Structure 1
Amino acid sequence: MNPLAKVLDTLADRTLVPGYSKIGYELRKRHWQPLPEGALRGKRALVTGANSGLGKATAARLAELGATVHLVVRDLGRGEQAREEIATLLPKAELHVDRCDLSDYDSVRRFAEGFLAAHDTVDILVHNAGALPPKRTENAWGDELALAVHVLGPFLLTGLLLPGLRASEDARVVFVSSGGMYAQKLYDGDPQYREGKYGGTAAYARTKRMQVVLAGMWAEHLAGDGISVHSMHPGWAATPGVTDSLPGFAKLMGPLLRDAEQGADTTVWLAASAEGGRTSGRFWHDRTARPEHYVPWTKESAAQRERLWEFCKDRVQNS
C-alpha cells in the first residue's frame, strides 16, 4: 500500500462510517493479494457459531481454500442446514457438524474431549460465536451470558484444545471481536456486569474488549509453542446478529452494511496467509493491524490484564 493509500486507510478507520462499512472494504481490497488456491489443504479448522452469518461465511471460505472444517454449533439442526448449504456450493468440501454450547462448560469439555479423541491436530480455531442478551441472564454457573459465550467458554475451549494446537506446525487462533469494543474500557472489577443498569449492547462491547485483551495474553503465553493468536473486527456486516439484535442500526445503515463474506475476510486471511503466521497478539481490521485503543481512558494496565486472566482461570477451573 502506497503512503497516500495508508493515510486514506487510517482516515477511513478513524471516521468509522467509511472504514467499517462496505465502502472501506471495497477501497482497501484493491491493494490485497488473493489467497493462493488450496492454501489450507491438509488443515483442520474449527469455527464456533458457524450456523449463520460471519461464522458460516468463514467456514465456507476456509473449506474453499481446502481445509477440513468443523462447524461448531449449539443447535445441531441449524448446523446441519448450514453444512448442507455450504456443501451445495462446495460439493468436494469436507465438512463436519459438532455440538458445543459455549455458555455450558460441561458441553465445552465434552466437545473438546471427543474432538481430541478423534483428531490429533487443530490447525485453526476461530472463536466466532456471539450473544447479545436483551437483559442480564446467567448460565448454570452464575456467569453473565455474554461473558460466558464471548470470554469464559472460549477461554476454556482454547485451553482444552492446546494439545491439538501444539501438534500443528502452524496453528492459528482468531477471536472475532467488534469495533464496539473501542467504546469500552476493561471492566476487570465488575466482569459479571452486576453494577449499574445492565445493557445488552454494553455487555457485548465490554466482553469484546475482554476478548482483545485475552487474545494478546494468549499470544504471550503461547509464544514458544508456534501458535499465533489474533483478534479482529469485521466492520459493520448485515448478519443475523446485527439485523436481529440491532434492527434500528441495520435499518439506518442499510446498503452500507457489508455482507457476511466481506466481514469474514480478515478472519480467513489471518487463518490462511503467511502474515497470519508471522505475527501474533495484534488486533486487525481489513487485513491491517489496528490500534487497540483510540482514547486514553479505555487503556488498561498490566495489573488489570493479569486480573482478567486470573479471573478467567478461576472461573473455568471451578465450574
Structure 2
Amino acid sequence: MHDRLDTLLDRTVLLGYSRPGLLLRRASWGPLAPDALQGRTALITGANSGIGKAMAAGMAALGAEVTLVVRDTERGVAAAAEITAHTPGATVRVARCDISDLADVRRFAHEMLDHTDRVDILVHNAGVLPRTRTESPQGHEICLATHVLGPILATDLLAPALQRSGAGRVILVSSGGMYSQPLPVRDIEYRTGDYHGATAYARTKRIQVALTPVLAERYAAQHISVHSMHPGWVDTPGIEAALPRFRRLTRPLLRTPAEGADTALWLAATEVPSGKFWHDRHPRPEHYLRRTRVSEADRERVWRYCTAAAGITPS
C-alpha cells in the first residue's frame, strides 16, 4: 500500500482502526512463515480471551511454546485446551499472575526464572476498564497498576531470561484511545476530578507509549527490544462489557480478535527498530494533537514516578 493512503487511513480513525482499513492494508502484506516462531518461548498476559487468546493461538500456530499468564487459571486452562485442539502438538501452558498486584508479579517472575531458561517474547496484554476508581493491593489506581506498573516490574524481573534469548522482545498492547489524552504528569494516579474509566484507560495507555522509548533504551545493551502497538477496534468480551454502546454502533466495522492480534504476531516474528509505536505493521506517531505533546522532562518525571511505585531503579 502507498504510504500516503496508509497515512490517510490512519488519520481518519474510522477507516484506519476498523476492519475495512485492515483489509485494504493487508492486501500488500506477505504472510508470516509457518515456522516463524519455531523454538521460541512466549509469555502473554491476559490471554484467556479476546486479543490475548488470539495472540497465543497465533504464536502457537507459528511454532512458539506459549504460556498464558492469567488471573483465573480455570479459564486459562480452558483457553489452552481450545488452542491445542486447533493446533495439535502445540505446547501451551498456564501460569497464574495478577499483573496489577506487584507482590504477585514478583512471585510469578521468580517462579518463572526458577523454571525457565529463557523468554523470547513477553507480551503485556492484560487490561482493565473500570466503572469506578479502584486501587490495587499496593494502593495504585487500577489502570495504572495493570497497564504500567505491573508490566514494567515484570519486564525488569524477567530481563535476565529475555537477555538469554539473545533477541528478547517485549510488546506492550496499547490503544488508539491514548491519542485523546496527554501524559498525566501532575495526576498520574488520577486522584483529582471526576473519575471516568475510559479516561483512566486512555491515560495509562498514553503512559505505555510514552515509556516505550525509555524502556527500549534501558534494555538495549541486553539485546532486548521493546515495542508498543495498538490493535485497532476489535470485537472482544472486554469491549462488550465495558463499552456496550460503542460496540452496538460499530459492530459491523469491528475486527476479529485474530485480526487485532496480527501486528503483535508480526512484531514477535520480524526484526524491526526498538522503541516505536505500531499499528497494522507500520510505525505510527505518538501524537496527533498539539495539546498531548510533552517534554522529555515530563516523560522522565513520569518514568521516575512509575519506577519508584513499582520498586525498581530508574536507570
TM-score, with normalisation over the residues of structure 2? 0.97
- What residue number does 2:75 align with? 78
Q: Which runs of 4+ in 1 moved over 4 A?
A: none
**Partner SS state of residue 27, structure 2:** helix
Aligned pairs for 1:2-17 (under 5 A) are: 5-17=2-14
Q: CA deviation at 1:240?
A: 1.2
The CA RMSD measured in Å over matched residues stands at 0.9
Aligned equivalent of 1:257, options 254, 259, 265: 254
- What residue number does 1:94 align with? 91
Matched, 1:58 2:58: no
Q: Using a 3 Å threshold, how does the CA distance of structure 1 residues 13 and 166 change in structure 2: closer, same or farther?
A: same
**Partner SS state of residue 82, structure 2:** helix
In 1, the alpha carbon distance for the partners of 2:274 and 2:100 equals 27
1:173-202: CA deviations, max 9, x gaps? Answer: 100000000000000211100011000000
- What residue number does 1:310 align with? 304
1:8-61: CA deviations, max 9, x gaps? Answer: 111110011110000000000011111111111111000000000000000000
- What residue number does 1:160 align with? 157
Aligned equivalent of 1:115, options 83, 104, 112: 112
Q: CA deviation at 1:205?
A: 0.2
In 2, the alpha carbon distance for the partners of 1:179 and 1:316 equals 25
- What residue number does 2:242 align with? 245
Task: Using the aligned pairs only, state the percent identity.
Answer: 55
Q: CA deviation at 1:274?
A: 2.8
Q: CA deviation at 1:234?
A: 0.3
In 2, the alpha carbon distance for the partners of 1:100 and 1:91 equals 26
- What residue number does 1:231 align with? 228
Aligned pairs for 1:151-300 (under 5 A) are: 151-275=148-272, 279-300=273-294
In 1, the alpha carbon distance for the partners of 2:218 and 2:167 equals 16
**Partner SS state of residue 27, structure 1:** helix
In 1, the alpha carbon distance for the partners of 2:294 and 2:218 equals 18
1:240-261: CA deviations, max 9, x gaps? Answer: 1211100000000011000000
1:150-180: CA deviations, max 9, x gaps? Answer: 0111111011001001111211110000000
In 2, the alpha carbon distance for the partners of 1:105 and 1:294 equals 33
Instruction: In structure 2, list runs of 5 or more residues that go unmatched.
Output: none
- What residue number does 2:64 align with? 67
1:272-298: CA deviations, max 9, x gaps? Answer: 1133xxx10000000000101001110
Matched, 1:145 2:142: yes
Letter matched to residue 185 of structure 1: P
Instruction: In structure 1, list runs of 5 or more residues that go unmatched.
Output: none
**Partner SS state of residue 190, structure 1:** coil
Q: How many residues align?
A: 312
- What residue number does 2:28 align with? 31
Letter matched to residue 124 of structure 2: H
**Partner SS state of residue 274, structure 1:** coil
**Partner SS state of residue 222, structure 1:** helix
In 2, the alpha carbon distance for the partners of 1:223 and 1:160 equals 16
TM-score, with normalisation over the residues of structure 1? 0.96
In 2, the alpha carbon distance for the partners of 1:274 and 1:135 equals 40
In 1, the alpha carbon distance for the partners of 2:240 and 2:5 equals 29
Letter matched to residue 313 of structure 1: T
Letter matched to residue 104 of structure 1: D
In 2, the alpha carbon distance for the partners of 1:167 and 1:299 equals 36
In 2, the alpha carbon distance for the partners of 1:176 and 1:21 equals 17
Q: CA deviation at 1:95?
A: 0.5
In 2, the alpha carbon distance for the partners of 1:68 and 1:218 equals 25
In 2, the alpha carbon distance for the partners of 1:158 and 1:226 equals 13
